[in-house]
């Protein structure tokens, strides 16, 4: 089976211009003589994927926390505990 590959990448600026002028993707494909199932849709999808370039999910162990981070977390939790205790006493509960 022969591969029908057209160099649509080179036509990308012209395709975008046509779409901005109000033509549908199907009309653009017919005007440029592109074959296949939704060639314009697939091209635009690939372009959006390239533009996104998501970083891969980090695997493995989390980086070690520093002593400074632990001290800050302990201080934050103590303050939160005191605020909660004050709120409960103001509400009249023990």
Residue 89: pLDDT above 50?
A: yes
| Terminal alpha carbon distance of the chain | 80
Please give the average per-residue pLDDT across 32-52, as a whole number: 87
DSSP state of 65: P
CA distance 89 to 85: 6
Q: 43 with 15: CB under 8 angstroms? A: yes
Give the pLDDT score at 68.
92
25 to 6, 38, 66: CA distances (angstroms): 16, 8, 54
Give the pLDDT score at 79.
95
CA distance 15 to 21: 10
pLDDT confidence band for 86 (50 / 70 / 90):
very high
Please give the average per-residue pLDDT across 2-28, as a whole number: 82
């Amino acid at each position: 089976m022969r591969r029908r590959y057209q160099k649509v990448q080179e036509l990308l600026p012209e395709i975008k211009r046509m779409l901005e002028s109000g033509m549908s993707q199907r009309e653009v494909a017919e005007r440029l003589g592109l074959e296949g199932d939704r060639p314009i849709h697939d091209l635009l999808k690939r372009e959006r994927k390239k533009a996104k370039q998501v970083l891969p999910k980090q695997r493995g162990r989390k980086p070690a926390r520093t002593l400074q981070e632990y001290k800050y977390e302990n201080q934050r939790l103590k303050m939160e505990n005191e605020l909660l205790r004050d709120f409960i006493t103001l509400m009249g509960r023990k």
